[in-house]
Chains A and B, each alone.
Chain A
């Protein structure tokens, strides 16, 4: 009875349970048949270098075992060797494996034992992590790691627990990787081919002090090492044979292979290449106007194709009994054309973007033998990560070679200037850009809405690179584990941006902006985990420092001082009558996106000519989080977890009014907010043909601004008429990702491959696997504006989108052909074809502009161009010349064209989520 009280007392303190590590821990006892402990017994993880010897109590502990299914043996002189298969080790988790050895007066054959290990109730497993392993990735209707992680409770796309985008750190095999330049608006730039993963986990509670650079959570990924024999997988999937409405031009090829190169050296390589003719399909209704070409093929947008290639390779080189070197390389490239409604009829001028990422890492690991329960493991990692982003007008659009694969890199107008960061050269109009004018090629002819003749004249480029050196030391001794280490990261930021490049700078055209600086960040941490009976607690402290090393202004030599932050973390867990309670508290800090340190704004689709000054003196964004987690196992095959958390966000980057000009602002650490929520996860293991996992999240996330670009100011006249005083907003409003209710159900079913059922066509279902993901969630918040778009209606984010729901389905049937195993599968997303509204117009609160708005837009366009359209003009459309006069003239003939053009232009394409997306796959496993 004292344990709960003790847990509650400890809950008032700070903690950070171990999580987000590459490996887990195997602990247990080795006893004989009479229950007596066996001292000096050796426990070995087969295939690795992990061994441990039992102490006088028969206890052993093997640390930092790479996650995955393991085979563990225990042996002692005079006893029969016992193997335990199917021991599942998960990163950050403690797996209990007890052995009972039988005395062997004579040498006997080894005995095999398989037994499940319960980690649900294990008090030593203290992290709140939601995992998906390689098997899940293959058997669920998910394609990418991001999609898999998004199945976690509390995830809204790539936002976790209500946080902003980019508040997550990515850990690959224990190595931190983050796009520190523009994580909040851009992606990481690298993608791991799912086939190389052992498991991925989203860790959202007080994660280990070993990890920083994140406020909302960690995505912890463990990759496979090459196996002892060559194995691999080749898969091809597409939607070519499907009917028109379902054929979105998809092709994907996956090839993975791993095995021994020579000696104990293991190799792993994988390539994942995919392309789609429409990389961002929408489920918008087909237009009614027969002149609108989209009416014929509403599901597939032109100039919206994309292709991506991810290639990874890994070498594992054991050096002796205690040393291992791992070399890892990953290259990702993504390029895509971007559909722009304004260039619907002159697509050659529409924008495109290319993002490439590279990661090269080396990992040296030393693992001492375990003597009487004591061990030392040290990891030294050195990695270089680079991400490059460019968006602009493609010089030319390469032709497709296979599906949407072009096989060639896009090049952009002004790319050379951008790479050279030649702001002086970019003051003149950039060669290759032409000024756009109102398109003449639309079906309506009228000069309105659509552009042609030239692009928007934008070129945006940035490159972020970092060289990270990371040292981690783990000392395990008896009932306590000690972790310590640190990292030093030298970063490089280079940016360039030019808008309206078809005009020289000046006279309302902003000059090109560029920045180059080399921040240095560093961190050190120490953490200890203690165990006493069924109570375990963890105490950690992390120190973070970052120095932007960027001058306060272009002409200044003064640099802001380095920023420093201490982040304590604390966690405790204990068993309470068949349930396990985990309480944790931690403070977290992350350096701000470096894009907020410079004047240029990247990928700011809301660019409206407003100027936001970069602030090199920004400090850390911080958060503190309390969490209570209760885990129980109602039956032998089901588990229930309930997490409740409160997170306080502070110092988030926000736009602050800059002087009295309402159109100017500077970034500052002024935003704060609160996230509160409850997660309920129920899981039934895949037993007797079916399994399920259901998660529900209720959450409330509020802050004083929804994103760093949102400018919420209050202008107050100071008493006494001393002048205007500008106060930033201090009212907490729902964050952009404040999804109140989220329900995700994952259902899996499998028909045994050895089913003895006898009925006609039984072979069709034998070995059949099905998985369904059902999602339902309440709508995200949004703000309403008045018709002129300059005044908020109500408070920011005080309106909500409607609920959305999807059902995804995967059906897989095994196929065996000439000794090769494989399968065919159908992966269908949004099988019900539900039209989910994912965005609405802020002026109407609806996806579309509405008839009244369309009429107003058409009227305004007509007022701007009421002139006749003569017969010889490229704008002349014979059907509109009602009186056959040779000119389309007057409102009677012109207005229908303007209305049709407005209806076309304002059709809400991207207000709707993806349509039904189906792919057929074939895979061969060798």
Chain B
């Protein structure tokens, strides 16, 4: 009986490590600051179902200052997931996962590069496509190695504005990359400027690249519903163009002429968003050897594509870049600059 009584008792348990509960947004009001990282938080985009925001974040807590992929809740809060290159061989290099975009089939496309710490030239750079649940896993494929050169075109040393056209094709902006040093005591300035839009049809372990004629010095691209129409901007131009890929018909959907240069276009939920005006220049730079659009951010403009009504969002004096409309078109996440570092902010469209 005593034994039965003893057995019926339960042991106490060792102490448990309390899990850190996920935190909600830092503040409720809009515009809402989503990130507070000392490093750069760049190129946000939404997952197709709007369940998360994926972006590239700079790890200032690591000596190599890797840039990783962060997956933020749509309202903001603590990061439930960060994807970095944790391979031991990566400890002596800066590994950057940039320009992420998740497609409708659950694949993520991003630019992945690696350079020795402190070195400008990279050892590896490619467009990588992988399952979104394992962006850095073994199933990732490097489909486009950089730099590449298209016929009758200069080298593209980097890519940006990666957008999914369909389950098997993406469009991106091929960029010229330069390192410009002014006076001896000034740091090297990395300048990236768009050269041309490129459509990549993914096939197995490679991709077929197709430059889009008439998109020289493009500065951004967005994909419309259905994936057959793209919206893009050009360097120093206030217009937003729309092209139907199947027919090649191109027209201007919005001209922000009074406000200045338009760039970083985003289209979703029947709305178009772009960064307009602000601190932006488009000039031929001798040190760069070509035209370059230098952009320190501007104002967020939203256009209702059905009515044509244009709205300028209240950015509280912040300069924005790379806005991304949520799939329902009601919110925008964008890089915001208060100094040199970019953080992500979430804005609600009235």
A-B contact pairs, 24 of them (CB 8 A): A240-B9, A249-B11, A277-B13, A278-B14, A294-B15, A296-B15, A300-B12, A301-B14, A302-B14, A302-B16, A345-B17, A441-B17, A867-B61, A871-B35, A872-B34, A872-B36, A872-B78, A874-B78, A874-B82, A877-B20, A886-B26, A920-B2, A922-B2, A922-B6
Question: Are A865 and B61 also in contact (CB < 8 A) when A443-B18, A502-B88 are?
Answer: yes
CA of A244 to CA of B14 in the docked complex: distance in angstroms?
Answer: 10
Task: Please give, as numbers and ranges, the residues of chain A lying within 8 Å of B3 by CB-CB distance.
Answer: 236, 922
- The segment from A157-165, A321-329, A429-437, A756-764 found at the interface with B is A429-437
CA of A874 to CA of B79 in the docked complex: distance in angstroms?
Answer: 6
Task: Please give, as numbers and ranges, the residues of chain B lying within 8 Å of A562 by CB-CB distance.
Answer: none
Closest Cβ neighbor of A868 among chain B residues: B38
Task: Please give, as numbers and ranges, the residues of chain B lying within 8 Å of A300 by CB-CB distance.
Answer: 12-15
Task: Verify A437–B17 contact, CB threshold 8 A.
Answer: no
Measured CB to CB, the closest approach of chain B to A427, in angstroms, equals 14
Determine whether A304 belongs to the interface, using a CB cutoff of 8 Å to chain B. yes
Determine whether A447 belongs to the interface, using a CB cutoff of 8 Å to chain B. yes
Identify which of residues 25-69 in chain B touch chain A, using a CB-to-CB cut-off of 8 Å: 26, 33-38, 60-61
Determine whether B140 belongs to the interface, using a CB cutoff of 8 Å to chain A. no
Measured CB to CB, the closest approach of chain B to A875, in angstroms, equals 8
Give the residue of A447, A868, A872 whose beta carbon is less than 8 angstroms from that of B77: A872
CA of A824 to CA of B7 in the docked complex: distance in angstroms?
Answer: 15
Task: Please give, as numbers and ranges, the residues of chain A lying within 8 Å of B20 by CB-CB distance.
Answer: 441, 445, 874, 877
Give chain B's interface secondary structure class: loop
Task: Verify A429–B88 contact, CB threshold 8 A.
Answer: yes
Task: Verify A403–B11 contact, CB threshold 8 A.
Answer: yes
Determine whether B277 belongs to the interface, using a CB cutoff of 8 Å to chain A. no
Question: Are A236 and B19 also in contact (CB < 8 A) when A876-B78, A886-B26, A886-B33 are?
Answer: no
Interface footprint category on B: 35 or more
Identify which of residues 611-633 in chain A touch chain B, using a CB-to-CB cut-off of 8 Å: none
Closest Cβ neighbor of A503 among chain B residues: B88
Determine whether A35 belongs to the interface, using a CB cutoff of 8 Å to chain B. no
Give the residue of B11, B15, B60, B79 whose beta carbon is less than 8 angstroms from that of A872: B79
CA of A878 to CA of B36 in the docked complex: distance in angstroms?
Answer: 13
Question: Are A870 and B12 also in contact (CB < 8 A) when A441-B19, A878-B23, A920-B6 are?
Answer: no
Identify which of residues 563-601 in chain A touch chain B, using a CB-to-CB cut-off of 8 Å: none
Q: Which 4 A-B pairs have the closest CB atoms?
A: A870-B36, A240-B9, A302-B14, A886-B36
Task: Please give, as numbers and ranges, the residues of chain A lying within 8 Å of B78 by CB-CB distance.
Answer: 871-874, 876
CA of A443 to CA of B18 in the docked complex: distance in angstroms?
Answer: 8
Measured CB to CB, the closest approach of chain A to B196, in angstroms, equals 35
Besides the known contacts A238-B6, A240-B7, A297-B14, 19 further A-B residue pairs in the complex with CB atoms under 8 A apart: A241-B6, A244-B12, A247-B11, A249-B12, A278-B14, A293-B18, A300-B12, A404-B11, A867-B61, A868-B38, A870-B38, A871-B23, A871-B26, A872-B34, A872-B35, A873-B78, A874-B20, A874-B78, A876-B78
Task: Please give, as numbers and ranges, the residues of chain B lying within 8 Å of A295 by CB-CB distance.
Answer: 15
Contact bitstring B74-97, A, C-beta under 8 A = 1, else 0: 001111001000111000000000
Measured CB to CB, the closest approach of chain B to A826, in angstroms, equals 11
CA of A293 to CA of B17 in the docked complex: distance in angstroms?
Answer: 6
Task: Verify A872–B6 contact, CB threshold 8 A.
Answer: no
Measured CB to CB, the closest approach of chain A to B291, in angstroms, equals 36
Determine whether A887 belongs to the interface, using a CB cutoff of 8 Å to chain B. yes
Determine whether A691 belongs to the interface, using a CB cutoff of 8 Å to chain B. no
Task: Please give, as numbers and ranges, the residues of chain B lying within 8 Å of A885 by CB-CB distance.
Answer: 36
Task: Verify B88–A872 contact, CB threshold 8 A.
Answer: no
Determine whether B130 belongs to the interface, using a CB cutoff of 8 Å to chain A. no
Task: Please give, as numbers and ranges, the residues of chain B lying within 8 Å of A345 by CB-CB distance.
Answer: 17
Determine whether A347 belongs to the interface, using a CB cutoff of 8 Å to chain B. yes
CA of A405 to CA of B259 in the docked complex: distance in angstroms?
Answer: 73
Identify which of residues 796-826 in chain A touch chain B, using a CB-to-CB cut-off of 8 Å: 824
Measured CB to CB, the closest approach of chain B to A812, in angstroms, equals 13
CA of A445 to CA of B18 in the docked complex: distance in angstroms?
Answer: 12
Closest Cβ neighbor of B57 among chain A residues: A872
Closest Cβ neighbor of B92 among chain A residues: A507
CA of A876 to CA of B24 in the docked complex: distance in angstroms?
Answer: 12
Determine whether A453 belongs to the interface, using a CB cutoff of 8 Å to chain B. yes
Tell me which of A244, A441, A873 has the highest count of chain B C-beta atoms within 10 A of its own C-beta: A873
CA of A303 to CA of B16 in the docked complex: distance in angstroms?
Answer: 10
Question: Are A435 and B88 also in contact (CB < 8 A) when A300-B14, A403-B11, A874-B20 are?
Answer: yes
CA of A227 to CA of B31 in the docked complex: distance in angstroms?
Answer: 87
Tell me which of B33, B38, B79, B88 has the highest count of chain A C-beta atoms within 10 A of its own C-beta: B88
Task: Please give, as numbers and ranges, the residues of chain A lying within 8 Å of B9 by CB-CB distance.
Answer: 240-241
CA of A79 to CA of B183 in the docked complex: distance in angstroms?
Answer: 125
Task: Please give, as numbers and ranges, the residues of chain B lying within 8 Å of A303 by CB-CB distance.
Answer: 14
Closest Cβ neighbor of A435 among chain B residues: B88
Determine whether A498 belongs to the interface, using a CB cutoff of 8 Å to chain B. no
Identify which of residues 187-208 in chain B touch chain A, using a CB-to-CB cut-off of 8 Å: none
CA of A885 to CA of B11 in the docked complex: distance in angstroms?
Answer: 44
Task: Please give, as numbers and ranges, the residues of chain A lying within 8 Å of B88 by CB-CB distance.
Answer: 429, 435, 502-503
Task: Please give, as numbers and ranges, the residues of chain A lying within 8 Å of B79 by CB-CB distance.
Answer: 872-874
Identify which of residues 142-189 in chain B touch chain A, using a CB-to-CB cut-off of 8 Å: none
Determine whether B5 belongs to the interface, using a CB cutoff of 8 Å to chain A. yes
Task: Please give, as numbers and ranges, the residues of chain B lying within 8 Å of A434 by CB-CB distance.
Answer: 86
Determine whether B235 belongs to the interface, using a CB cutoff of 8 Å to chain A. no
Determine whether A344 belongs to the interface, using a CB cutoff of 8 Å to chain B. yes
Task: Please give, as numbers and ranges, the residues of chain B lying within 8 Å of A867 by CB-CB distance.
Answer: 38, 60-61
Task: Please give, as numbers and ranges, the residues of chain A lying within 8 Å of B329 by CB-CB distance.
Answer: none
Determine whether B100 belongs to the interface, using a CB cutoff of 8 Å to chain A. no
CA of A443 to CA of B17 in the docked complex: distance in angstroms?
Answer: 9
Identify which of residues 287-328 in chain A touch chain B, using a CB-to-CB cut-off of 8 Å: 293-297, 300-304
Task: Please give, as numbers and ranges, the residues of chain A lying within 8 Å of B2 by CB-CB distance.
Answer: 824, 920, 922
Measured CB to CB, the closest approach of chain A to B252, in angstroms, equals 38
Task: Please give, as numbers and ranges, the residues of chain A lying within 8 Å of B19 by CB-CB distance.
Answer: 441
Measured CB to CB, the closest approach of chain A to B1, in angstroms, equals 9
Tell me which of A297, A301, A347 has the highest count of chain B C-beta atoms within 10 A of its own C-beta: A297
Determine whether B224 belongs to the interface, using a CB cutoff of 8 Å to chain A. no
Task: Please give, as numbers and ranges, the residues of chain A lying within 8 Å of B306 by CB-CB distance.
Answer: none
Task: Please give, as numbers and ranges, the residues of chain A lying within 8 Å of B60 by CB-CB distance.
Answer: 867-868
Determine whether B10 belongs to the interface, using a CB cutoff of 8 Å to chain A. yes
Tell me which of B23, B36, B87 has the highest count of chain A C-beta atoms within 10 A of its own C-beta: B36
Task: Please give, as numbers and ranges, the residues of chain B lying within 8 Å of A877 by CB-CB distance.
Answer: 20
CA of A871 to CA of B33 in the docked complex: distance in angstroms?
Answer: 10
Identify which of residues 856-893 in chain A touch chain B, using a CB-to-CB cut-off of 8 Å: 865, 867-868, 870-874, 876-878, 885-887
CA of A878 to CA of B35 in the docked complex: distance in angstroms?
Answer: 15
Determine whether B223 belongs to the interface, using a CB cutoff of 8 Å to chain A. no
Task: Verify A868–B17 contact, CB threshold 8 A.
Answer: no
Contact bitstring A720-739, B, C-beta under 8 A = 1, else 0: 00000000000000000000
Determine whether B221 belongs to the interface, using a CB cutoff of 8 Å to chain A. no
CA of A873 to CA of B3 in the docked complex: distance in angstroms?
Answer: 51
Task: Please give, as numbers and ranges, the residues of chain B lying within 8 Å of A447 by CB-CB distance.
Answer: 61
Task: Please give, as numbers and ranges, the residues of chain B lying within 8 Å of A878 by CB-CB distance.
Answer: 23
CA of A920 to CA of B79 in the docked complex: distance in angstroms?
Answer: 49
Question: Are A304 and B6 also in contact (CB < 8 A) when A503-B88, A873-B79, A886-B26 are?
Answer: no
CA of A824 to CA of B5 in the docked complex: distance in angstroms?
Answer: 13
CA of A874 to CA of B13 in the docked complex: distance in angstroms?
Answer: 27
Determine whether B327 belongs to the interface, using a CB cutoff of 8 Å to chain A. no
Determine whether B72 belongs to the interface, using a CB cutoff of 8 Å to chain A. yes
Closest Cβ neighbor of B60 among chain A residues: A867
Task: Please give, as numbers and ranges, the residues of chain A lying within 8 Å of B5 by CB-CB distance.
Answer: 241
Determine whether B70 belongs to the interface, using a CB cutoff of 8 Å to chain A. yes
Task: Verify B36–A887 contact, CB threshold 8 A.
Answer: yes
Task: Please give, as numbers and ranges, the residues of chain B lying within 8 Å of A239 by CB-CB distance.
Answer: 11
Identify which of residues 327-363 in chain A touch chain B, using a CB-to-CB cut-off of 8 Å: 344-345, 347
Closest Cβ neighbor of B11 among chain A residues: A249
CA of A238 to CA of B4 in the docked complex: distance in angstroms?
Answer: 11
Closest Cβ neighbor of A345 among chain B residues: B17
Task: Please give, as numbers and ranges, the residues of chain B lying within 8 Å of A865 by CB-CB distance.
Answer: 61
Question: Are A240 and B36 also in contact (CB < 8 A) when A300-B15, A441-B19, A874-B79 are?
Answer: no
Task: Verify B7–A453 contact, CB threshold 8 A.
Answer: no
Question: Are A293 and B38 also in contact (CB < 8 A) when A240-B7, A867-B60, A872-B79 are?
Answer: no
